[in-house]
Amino acid sequence: MRLGLWGVFLALTESCWCAPQQTCYPGDELLGRCNNNVTETKPTCTEMHLSYCNDVGYTRTMFPNILGHQTRMDAESGAEYLLLSVIHGLLNGECTPDIRLVGCSVLVSPCQDDKIIRPCRSTCEALRKDCGHTFEAIDMAWPYFLDCDRFFASDQEGCFDPLAALRARREQTRSSISPDKPSTLIQFTHTSNSQMYSLLKRTAAKCSHISHVYSIGRSTEGRDLLVIEFSNNPGQHELLEPEVKLIGNMHGNEVLGRQLLIYLAQYLCSEYTLGNPRIQTLINTTRIHILASMNPDGYELAAAEVEDRNDPDLTNQEGHLMNGWINGRTNAQNLDLNRNFPDLTSVFYRNRRSKHYRTDHIPIPDGYWFEKVAPETFAVMKWSRSIPFVQSASLHGGELVVSYPFDYSRHPQDEKMFSPTQDERVFKQLARTYADAHTTMSDTDTDRCGARFYRTKGIINGALWYSFPGGMSDFNYLHTNCLEITVELGCDKFPSEVELYPEWKRNKEALLKFVESVHRGIKGVVKDVDGNGIKDATIAVKGIRKDVTTDEGGDYWRLLTPGTHIVTATAKGYSRVSKRVHLPQNLKKAGRVDFVLKKVPLKPFIDDHFFPMTETWDRFDPYNQFERYTEPDVVEGGIERQSKPWWWSYFSQSGISPPNWLLRSA
């Protein structure tokens, strides 16, 4: 629909986006387009008769107008008025009627005492800040007639606000909303990829003091993997501020998580601005990263397969219907992204009984890079390694339950076997946090979606449910500090729009509670005697063979359940320090446990010889298989040449000649 309108608009305007023609050429006069012999008359106020501008709040205007249109007919036949007539369809309802009303204020400005009153420049600038991304999303320049410096006036010059009445109506609507309805106004509709990008960018622009957007990479078909971040210092890691990530739409046809995260971003921005103390506290103390769609290519296919509910020819009316339950699940390479991560769980099972083998920060085997690695998987792995995430949730669809690692059975032949991690109690606590805050996930009703999990009140160990290797949650646990759960949001993978608001109500509190739960366990800073933070120090808890490491400034976070724990900090070349820590049941925030380590002579350690984990953990994309695609081709003598293939450095460094078949493929 939008592309059709855009095509019509371009055709009618002959791809010209410029100011109205002021000169009347002889040929134009013969064709009746203009008249050079028009007698100039004194402009006076006149009644306004433009149907798309009939709700501007005034009835009189003046011609010639600000744009130079001499008559109402000139204005009505111009490209500016045509754009206003189709703006809703072009932008899929975004920023309307705001843009239309401001456009009308230029096209037919109010008239008083035979003088035009120009719209306020401040209104135009605010509109462009909020809505500029909507035009970028359809590859269209900001309209020339909304040039804030050219056609608008300052407050000192005397101007009027064309959006004052609209804001007043919105405020009245907001004040009339009952307490059980959201105070933040959200449009509960499905969101296309371009709409999603635009909404996230607009949200970040509205709340630029607490939010910004960034891309972690691109999908197979070149779509941005766009993240919106919320923090009181966006764009920077702050000492002792925990980092949380929320990921949706890993499977392209499971869209509810995607929509909930888009709504959550709008909610956080709006509620912070409105002064909601809970949201302000959350954002001021937490850095939240939201990747609404990890698989935008799959979503594109899934959305294309969704049948129109309003089609009268359809005989099976079941909401937002799917032409198959798995269309769009995989990425554009037909890879299931939740089976595409390195299988570190098998590595862990093979070595778990070794006394000196670490069960955390397991390196990625070199052989993994010879397999088919999706660009979406690569981007998320690199992202997960670059930021010290503490906890994470991946939102899926198809059931109503929260599952937690391990997802791969300790006996691969047994597809339903309880396979706990070292942090079984912590994972159950995280899963319980979400399930208990959800309105139906943990109840004992046996006649509902997710009823088969009623005995465990809506949570389950992943491998006990069904086993699979290469999952994202297992990767997070075994390769980074981060603990990730998988949230299955419901049995309908692509719910109808009428279900989106009820689903938001069911999940909003659970999402907020989950993010807030990162402030549990302990946190602290590991320093040397001079007060300098120690990077990559390890924090070990007695009885849990899963260590976490410190970040650049020496800060760390360790999720723990209430009770007494023996916590030890150590680092290469430093002393080992242990502390007994008691976490009471009613503790509402993470306990502060700092360590000061003294330098000691560096002694050889058996792990350095037999299990050199720290060095090999840094081996990421060792053959430059993916990074090379981001580098420009080298130009020699004006002739472009391709970068060397990803395997080139491997054979160059090893001194082994590559096989002929590989050379031929280069």
Residues acting as catalytic residues: 488
DSSP string, 583-617: E-TT--SPEE--EEE-B------HHHHH--HHHHH
User: Which helix (H) or strand (E) element contains residue 564?
Assistant: strand 563-570
Q: Which long-range contacts (CB under 8 A, 24 or more apart) does 26-29 make?
A: none
Three-state SS at 531: coil
Q: How, if at all, do strands 287-291 and 224-230 pair?
A: antiparallel
d(CA 47, CA 60): 5
DSSP string, 363-416: PPPGGGGGS---HHHHHHHHHHHHS-EEEEEEEE-SEEEEEES--S-SSTT-SS
Output the CA–CA distances (angstroms, integers) from residue 552 to 237, 240, 535, 537, 641, in the order listed: 10, 11, 5, 10, 39
d(CA 426, CA 428): 5
Q: Is cis: bond before 97, omega within 30 of 0?
A: yes
Q: How, if at all, do strands 111-112 and 115-116 pair?
A: antiparallel
Output the CA–CA distances (angstroms, integers) from residue 656 to 18, 540, 616, 652, 665, in the order listed: 62, 42, 22, 7, 17
For 587, counting Cβ atoms within 10 Å of its Cβ (0-12 exposed, 13-18 middle, 19+ buried), the class is middle
Output the CA–CA distances (angstroms, integers) from residue 500 to 189, 259, 317, in the order listed: 7, 8, 17
Nearby residues of 485 by Cβ (< 8 Å), 6 or more positions away: 391, 392, 393, 394, 402, 403, 404, 427, 430, 431, 434, 473
Rg over alpha carbons for the chain, rounded to the nearest Å, is 30
The one-letter amino acid code at 486 reads T
Task: Find, among 430, 516, 496, the residue nearest to 256 by Cα.
Answer: 496
Tokens representing residue 452 in the block = 């088969």
Cβ-contact 24, 70 below 8 angstroms: no
d(CA 480, CA 390): 9
For 446, counting Cβ atoms within 10 Å of its Cβ (0-12 exposed, 13-18 middle, 19+ buried), the class is exposed
CA 505 to chain centre: 20
Could you tell me the sign of the dihedral formed by the alpha carbons of 267, 236, 539, 527, in that order? negative
Could you give phi then psi for residue 383, rounded to 5 degrees? -60, -45
Could you give phi then psi for residue 146, rounded to 5 degrees? -105, 30
Q: How, if at all, do strands 211-218 and 111-112 pair?
A: unpaired
